[in-house]
Amino acid sequence: MASRNLTALRTIWIKECTRFLRIWVQTLVPPAITMSLYFIIFGSLIGKRIGEMGGFSYMEFIVPGLIMMSVITNSYANVSSSFFSAKFQRNVEELLVAPVPNWIIVLGFVGGGVARAILIGIIVTCVSLLFVDIQIYNLGIIIITLLLTSSLFATAGLINAVYAKTFDDISMVPTFVLTPLTYLGGVFYSLTLLPEFWQWVSKINPIVYMVNGFRYGFLGVSDVNYLVSIGLLVVFNVVLFTVAYQLINRGVGIRS
Amino acid sequence: MKALDISGLRKTYKGGTQALKGIDLEVEEGDFFALLGPNGAGKSTTIGVISSLVNKSSGDVKVFGHSIDQELVEAKSCIGLVPQEFNFNQFETLLQIVVNQAGYYGVPRPLAKERAEKYLKQLDLWEKRNEPARELSGGMKRRLMIARALMHEPKMLILDEPTAGVDIEIRRSMWTFLKEINKQGITIILTTHYLEEAEMLCRNIAIIDKGIIVENTSMKTLLSKLNKETFVLDLPIQSQPPALKEFEYRNIDDHTLEVDVNKDVGLNDVFRQLTDQGVTVLSMRNKANRLEELFVRMVESGRQQAGEA
Ligand SMILES: Nc1ncnc2c1ncn2[C@@H]1O[C@H](COP(=O)(O)OP(=O)(O)OP(=O)(O)O)[C@@H](O)[C@H]1O
Ligand SMILES: [Mg+2]
């Protein structure tokens, strides 16, 4: 029983990883290019004029945020497009007819998104090393924040794909929700630069906590307490995982 | 042991379509069973419910005694499904598709790879194992779905129109293959529009129409209901159409005659009468698809009964 579930989980995970590695030009290269551009433009060109931020050079300040940004985008995109196309091509039926528990299905897809996010995280970190020396304040916090953030957005991508009826539906949330929240999430600036009201508003934005938690792991500075960040991530993960599980259980969008 | 036991199965889709209106169906272990019916009759819906792709509205389904409500895992493990439409990932290779499918059933990877070789070879796809599925021909794709369905070595194989769009040669080799695995003990249920296929393969048959089972019997009994057969006789061109006493006949054109013959009467008298009129019979054949006529009759009488009720 347990070993059967484990085999099923591994199979879904391997299948998911094979998928994004097969189309690496679409999945792995673009974030490397985008982030290089950010590093060049904001870090090197404009950054010099900005000067220090939170006690660090601007380049050092934005690197953790930019890594986090690509982790968020890619974990979300991986699961939303993979699950949607499994639904669209109907190969999700391969899973539905098999005795795979639904929580394993969710875990397998999310695991695929996390794997891609980690790989991207490593790639972007390597790219950033061309521009700046990265310091590490606490590796444990970096890893925990990375895992929790990627699994959170992978799960969110899955939920999006469950509801999506067309390919457009899976680009709506990234365009209208994720991108604005990320840009306003303290990737490029410290919240302390904002007027008090906007600081307060920013703290409703969950991405602020992820970016700052992650930055704390690198630099040891943060606009919010890193424990709050991790706590929130855990809570959000539990909530979204439960929602995703319920949706698959009810067969929303996949079983008529 | 019953391989499949369905009672009172109903399905109403979200749009309001009543696809199944209370179906009862039993299939014995080891049987080769045909589910026949016109387009939209509810065949795929029935199969969908059995294989967990469609949520039923009410009724009970048991697979080898395991209820799909209480013992879903056991029930699922008994079934191998070959769906009506291609539903594999077109970008994956054949090997990936079948090995992954085995993995979903908990078959460890090394064993899955052994079986992949066995079944892809049996279905004549081994050469193509590293090609993406989208590069296969339609007939190969059908065979790929059969291989995929066998990877966890199920006790029952359900095939939804497995030979649609498959050429005659491959269809025959698929028939041989299915007969072979049925002989090895796998229960087979298939839907088809080709009555010839059902006649060739199946021992028992159910006919479904508009969500109702209108007939459920053995192939033998069904065929014995055909007490009248129609023959088509090709003649040299006749200046005067021949006439037959005590037979129903039709002169189709100046060189074709159709005669209805009761099974207990025989053909001798037809030939005697024609010989007496100096008519040569060049060739003769069964009117094609006598089963099809029977099928249409059954469906129509089912509809009449439903209308009366
Ligand atoms: N997903 C669905 N949503 C709504 N209605 C459906 C759905 N699938 C099937 N139906 C309807 O249910 C009825 C039965 O369809 P089903 O696919 O079971 O027929 P079938 O016997 O398999 O036909 P065919 O021989 O054409 O494959 C049809 O009226 C069909 O329109
Ligand atoms: Mg069908």
Mean pLDDT over each residue of chain A, to the nearest integer:
92
**Nearest bound ligand to CA B21?**
1
Instruction: Quick: pLDDT tens for A57-103.
Output: 888 889 999 999 999 999 999 999 999 999 999 999 999 999 999 99
Q: How far is A174 from chain B (nearest CA, A)?
A: 25
**Scanning every residue of chain A, which has its alpha carbon at the shortest distance from the alpha carbon of B85?**
A90
C-beta B13 within 6 A of ligand 1: yes
**Percentage, residues of chain A above pLDDT 90:** 65
Amino acid at A35: M
**Percentage, residues of chain A above pLDDT 70:** 100
Question: Does residue A256 lie within any of the structural domains?
Answer: no
Q: Which of residues 22-61 of B touch A (CB under 8 A)?
A: 48, 51-55
What range does the domain containing B122 cover?
2-224
Residues B44 and B185 in one domain: yes
CATH of the domain at B27: 3.40.50.300
Taking 90 as the threshold, does the pLDDT of residue B33 lie above it? Answer: yes
Number of domains in chain B: 2
* Domain closes at, from B224, B243, B259: B224
Taking 70 as the threshold, does the pLDDT of residue A23 lie above it? Answer: yes
According to DSSP, the β-strands at B156-160 and B187-192 are: parallel
Taking 90 as the threshold, does the pLDDT of residue A54 lie above it? Answer: no
Ion ligand 2 residue ranges (Cβ < 5 Å): B 43-44, 84
- A256 to B52: CB separation less than 8 angstroms, yes or no: no
Q: How far apart are CA B133 and CA B95, in angstroms?
A: 9
Taking 70 as the threshold, does the pLDDT of residue A204 lie above it? Answer: yes
What is the pLDDT at residue B289? 58
Ligand 2 center from residue B39 Cα (angstroms) = 7
- A8 to B106: CB separation less than 8 angstroms, yes or no: yes
- Atom in ligand 1 nearest the alpha carbon of residue B208: 21
Question: Does residue A30 lie within any of the structural domains?
Answer: yes
CATH of the domain at B281: 3.30.70.1560
Does B88 reach chain A within 8 Å, measured CB to CB?
Answer: yes
Instruction: Quick: pLDDT tens for B139-185.
Output: 999 999 999 999 999 999 999 999 888 888 889 999 999 999 999 99
- Atom in ligand 1 nearest the alpha carbon of residue B84: 27
Number of domains in chain A: 1
* Domain closes at, from B202, B224, B246: B224
Taking 70 as the threshold, does the pLDDT of residue A110 lie above it? Answer: yes
Question: Does residue A255 lie within any of the structural domains?
Answer: no
> What is residue A132's three-state secondary structure?
coil
What is the pLDDT at residue B193? 83
Q: How far apart are CA B87 and CA A90, in angstroms?
A: 5
**Helix, strand, coil distribution of chain A in percent, nearest 5:** 80, 0, 20
Does A11 reach chain B within 8 Å, measured CB to CB?
Answer: yes
Taking 60 as the threshold, does the pLDDT of residue B111 lie above it? Answer: yes
Question: How much is the pTM?
Answer: 0.88
* Domain closes at, from B224, B253, B277: B224
> What is residue A225's three-state secondary structure?
coil
Q: Starting from the edge strand earliest in sequence, which strands make up the sheet with B58-63, in order?
A: B18-28, B2-12, B58-63, B66-67
Taking 70 as the threshold, does the pLDDT of residue A144 lie above it? Answer: yes
Instruction: Quick: pLDDT tens for A147-197.
Output: 999 999 999 999 999 999 998 999 888 889 999 998 898 888 888 888 888
Contact call for residues A5 and B106 (beta carbons, < 8 A) = yes
Residues B127 and B253 in one domain: no
Question: Does residue A76 lie within any of the structural domains?
Answer: yes
Taking 90 as the threshold, does the pLDDT of residue A121 lie above it? Answer: yes
Burial of A36 (0-12, 13-18, 19+ CB in 10 A): middle
Report the range of poorest mean pLDDT among A63-77, B218-232, B252-266.
B218-232
C-beta B43 within 6 A of ligand 1: yes
What range does the domain containing A121 cover?
2-250
Residues ≥6 apart with Cβ < 8 Å to B160 = B43, B44, B47, B81, B82, B83, B84, B190, B191
* pLDDT, average across residues B69-91: 96
Residues B141 and B268 in one domain: no
Residues B61 and B181 in one domain: yes
Question: Does residue B309 lie within any of the structural domains?
Answer: no
